[in-house]
Amino acid sequence: MTSLVKDPARDFSHFLAPGPENRVRMDFVVDGIHCAACAARIERAFGGEPDLSLARVNLTEKRLTIEWVEAKRADPPQILARLEALGFSGHPFRIAEREASEKAEEARLLRALGVAGFAMMNIMLLSVSVWSGHETGLSRETRDFFHWISALIALPTAAYSGHPFFDSAIRSLKARAVNMDVPISLGILLALGVSVFETLNSGEHAYFDGAVMLIFFLLIGRVLDQMMMRRTRAVASNLAALRSETVTRILPDGTLREMAAATIEPGDLVLVRPGERIGVDGVIERGTSDLDQSLVTGETAHQAVSAGADVHAGTLNISGTLEIRVRHAAASTLLSRIEALLATATEKRARYVRLADRAARAYAPVVHTTAALTFLGWLAYGLGWQPSLLIAITVLIITCPCALGLAIPAVQVVASGAMFRRSILLHAGDALERLAEVDTIVFDKTGTLTLPEPIIANRADIPERLLTIAGRLALSSRHPLAQAIVAAGSADNPFRDVREWPGQGLEAVDSRVTIRLGSPGFCDATEEAARVAAAYPEASLIAMRCETDVVVFAIRQPLRADARQTVKTLKTLGLELEILSGDRDVPVAKVAETLGIENWRAGVEPGGKVARLEELRAAGRKVLMVGDGINDAPALAAAHVSISPVSASDLAQAQADLMVMGKALAPIADAITIARKARRLMTQNLWLAVIYNAVAVPIAIAGLATPFVAAIAMSGSSMIVTLNALRARTGGVKT
């Protein structure tokens, strides 16, 4: 490769990002990439370049990451030229441009789908008239008139609505490769060509309806894929919102200076005020506070911290001012490692090859070779080039990949509707196939097996008068534990002049009576707290003192109402179950014991969850990950397939393949049974297409079928595949 081009009109220098050891990297958006085979072909093309240390394709984001061995060897224009030679188009990656481009592409596909659907309905009306006319004595002039009207509708429709397939096929052929869109495009063009020929010669049969119908159904699959992929990427960038771009550093002389987080080094001392996100990993040297550490532990309850406690970038400081000694900053923080885990896991999962892609790899060359050999064989037999070509065209029409092209999308559409009726939303087009292969389920605990909203476990032991007093004081706090007390009572008038003691609790004076709500030590309630803790070891404790009255609230997140039944159902489906949680041992053990799940681990950080999933993958397991927190996002991306509840964080939802609406867990079992049935139907449809070809192709090769018979057979195979797909409407666990 040559050095970086200096043409100002094509200056890519501001897109280059520094990498380790004098390397630079750049991200490119790749248009026209639809499957894992395309991604593998791009990586193989760049893999042998000595100037490149990395060439990686993220299929989900349609992004190519290139890393040069040395900065001076960077040549983005040559990367773009190589992509063009491979049959793809590319441009530098910009988030705003990518989102705008995806919205435009989605709108373009929807317009194409609308045009194809409208045209298909009108052409079918004309075709029905022609078909019925064969029995009722329709005149030749009227039949030709209907055919010409069909042609006037079908030809512009195919030119407009078929462009996604035609463009892809042309790019593939230019790169001297064959993808699934090549036989699809060829089948459409041949069906239209034969129909025009028949219409010009007053033939009885035309196939405009079949060609437009094929375009319509294939566009449904293409639109669904585009919408799912865009929705998945739309909120994936929310992780950046947790990053603090600036940090307040405490200089040796005690003065404060606002600095870019990237310039902070280990050993520096930084100040974090209440309401700010921590921008570094480190240890608290001075101060007490409450932290939202859901990023690290998945636990939504705020954690009280003081000097000596470890903290991580991305966590939110709630109440007190902290001075933190830096251990890791910039790219070394836990937040950055989560981002790296997320990117790596997403890329690995994106390499999954769909059933349709696998079938297409063998299908396309076989079809074209068969048609070519048929033409040459009859020509050698002495039949003449015109009848030989007609037989070859018949072979291509009869093997037109209608059935193959509809085999998967038709089942996806029907199964997606069945899942929606059971409160399940699909985020990924191939999620059904991957979900059907699952043999192991890994659950997060907090917010997944349990409800995200905490409750008072010992509510029956709390006098109503004291609950009301505690609720009035809790109205002055945003702490989740305090909100649980508010929700349990009926207090609506907070105390005035409430004082907050950072990291300890709240205090108010009413009618000369001091009232405190907070930690047991703050409320001088350690003895009562010990008694409550013994009865509710998995709960978080918050105390209240009003003169001599003392109560301790045991607050926990309850199990989802159907958790036990769902776990039992999943076991009957032959699935192995496991819990991976960032929470403490006691609450995780309690949940595992209650649900009868033998394998569980507590205190697991995001990297540990991904490592465990890799262990299971290496053991040959196909894992479904169910989680809801930011800390679960890398694991959700790393799993074979993943599900998150509707209450999950935006980032978790972005990485999940499916989302469960409502508070029930039962839809998870429904999703698995529907997916298993859908995969069986997909496989059946592919075999129906194979059997159809095994019967029809020899007849066509022998010259015993006309193009009309081929078109009827093609339509019949599509009808059978579609009717079989409708069986996916029923599914789920029978209760």
pLDDT at 151: 92
With the C-alpha atoms ordered 111, 99, 641, 732, is the resulting torsion angle positive or negative? negative
Q: Which of 195-199, 409-413, 501-505 has the highest mean pLDDT?
A: 195-199
CA angle 524, 530, 531 (to 5 degrees): 115
Interatomic CA distance for residues 197 and 438, integer angstroms: 51
Q: Which of 249, 494, 649, 557 is nearest to 486 (CA)?
A: 494
Domains of the chain from N-terminus onward: 8-93 (3.30.70.100), 240-332 (2.70.150.10), 377-451+558-735 (3.40.50.1000), 455-556 (3.40.1110.10)
CB atoms within 10 A of CB 111: 12
Token pair recorded at residue 264: 């902070």
pLDDT at 540: 81
Interatomic CA distance for residues 326 and 333, integer angstroms: 10
pLDDT at 9: 38
Report pTM: 0.57
Confidence category of residue 238, pLDDT binned at 50, 70, 90: very low
Give me the phi and psi of 277, to 5 degrees please. Answer: -85, 140
The answer for 297, left when phi > 0, alpha when psi is -120 to 50, beta otherwise, is: alpha
- Amino acid found at 277: R
Instruction: List the beta strands (DSSP E) in 59-204.
Output: 63-68, 89-92
Q: Strand 24-31 relative to strand 17-18: parallel, antiparallel, unpaired?
A: antiparallel
- Residue 5: pLDDT over 70: no
Confidence category of residue 24, pLDDT binned at 50, 70, 90: confident
With the C-alpha atoms ordered 213, 218, 221, 225, is the resulting torsion angle positive or negative? negative
pLDDT at 62: 74
Q: Which residue has the higher pLDDT, 457 or 17?
A: 457
Query: Among 13-22, 51-60, 103-112, which stretch is predicted with the lowest mean pLDDT?
Result: 13-22
Residue 686 CB partners (closer than 8 Å, separation 6+): 355, 359, 404, 407
Three-state secondary structure readout of 147-186: HHHHHHHHHHHHHHHCHHHHHHHHHHHHCCCCCCHHHHHH
Q: What is the DSSP letter of 299?
A: -
Strand partners, 482: none
Token pair recorded at residue 707: 């193009």
Query: By CB neighbour count within 10 A (0-12 exposed, 13-18 middle, 19+ buried), where does 231 fall?
Result: middle
Tell me the three state secondary structure of residue 8: helix
Rounded to the nearest 10 degrees, how much is the dihedral formed by the CA atoms of 649, 650, 655, 658? 80
- Residue 733: pLDDT over 90: no
- Residue 296: pLDDT over 60: no
Give me the phi and psi of 248, to 5 degrees please. Answer: -90, 110
Confidence category of residue 70, pLDDT binned at 50, 70, 90: confident
pLDDT at 523: 92
- Residue 234: pLDDT over 70: no
Report percent pLDDT > 70 for the chain.
75
pLDDT at 439: 93
Which H or E run includes 668?
A: helix 666-701
Instruction: Note the maximum CA span of the chain.
Output: 114
Interatomic CA distance for residues 272 and 307, integer angstroms: 13
Q: Which of 466, 457, 464 is nearest to 551 (CA)?
A: 466
What are the DSSP calls for 689-712, one per residue?
A: HHHHHHHHHHHHHTT---HHHHHH
Interatomic CA distance for residues 425 and 412, integer angstroms: 12
Catalytic residue numbers, as ranges: 444
Residue 614 CB partners (closer than 8 Å, separation 6+): 638
Contacts 24+ apart (CB under 8 A), 288-292: 288/320, 288/502, 288/503, 288/504, 289/317, 289/318, 289/319, 289/320, 289/321, 289/322, 289/502, 289/503, 290/318, 290/319, 290/320, 290/479, 290/502, 290/503, 291/315, 291/316, 291/317, 291/318, 292/316, 292/318
HSE (side-chain half, CA atoms, 13 Å) at 528: 22
What does the pLDDT look like over 310-359, one tens digit per residue? 888 878 888 788 999 998 876 667 666 555 555 554 444 444 445 655 66
pLDDT at 628: 81
Q: Which residue has the higher pLDDT, 584 or 121?
A: 121
Q: Which of 52, 55, 653, 48 is nearest to 347 (CA)?
A: 55
What does the pLDDT look like over 529-571, one tens digit per residue? 999 988 888 788 899 999 889 999 998 888 888 999 999 999 9
Interatomic CA distance for residues 363 and 384, integer angstroms: 28
Q: Which of 651, 617, 614 is nearest to 631 (CA)?
A: 651
Rounded to the nearest angstrom, the gap between the alpha carbon of residue 120 and the centroid of all alpha carbons in its chain is 32
pLDDT at 160: 94
Token pair recorded at residue 431: 């999620």
Q: Which of 456, 471, 554 is nearest to 515 (CA)?
A: 471
Interatomic CA distance for residues 250 and 263, integer angstroms: 13
- Residue 475: pLDDT over 60: yes
Sheet (strand 246-250) strand order: 256-260, 246-250, 269-272, 322-328, 281-286, 310-311
Q: Which of 288, 292, 262 is nearest to 277 (CA)?
A: 292
Confidence category of residue 220, pLDDT binned at 50, 70, 90: confident
pLDDT at 351: 46
pLDDT at 349: 47
Strand partners, 291: 303, 317
Query: By CB neighbour count within 10 A (0-12 exposed, 13-18 middle, 19+ buried), where does 447 fall?
Result: buried
Which H or E run includes 466?
A: helix 464-474
| Spatial contact of 515 and 546, defined as CB atoms under 8 Å apart | yes
pLDDT at 308: 87
Token pair recorded at residue 346: 């997403």
Interatomic CA distance for residues 682 and 415, integer angstroms: 11
Interatomic CA distance for residues 300 and 314, integer angstroms: 14
HSE (side-chain half, CA atoms, 13 Å) at 369: 6
| Spatial contact of 503 and 319, defined as CB atoms under 8 Å apart | yes
pLDDT at 655: 75
Tell me the three state secondary structure of residue 462: coil
Rounded to the nearest 10 degrees, how much is the dihedral formed by the CA atoms of 567, 683, 113, 718? -140
Interatomic CA distance for residues 350 and 638, integer angstroms: 10
The predicted model gives 115-131 an average pLDDT of: 84
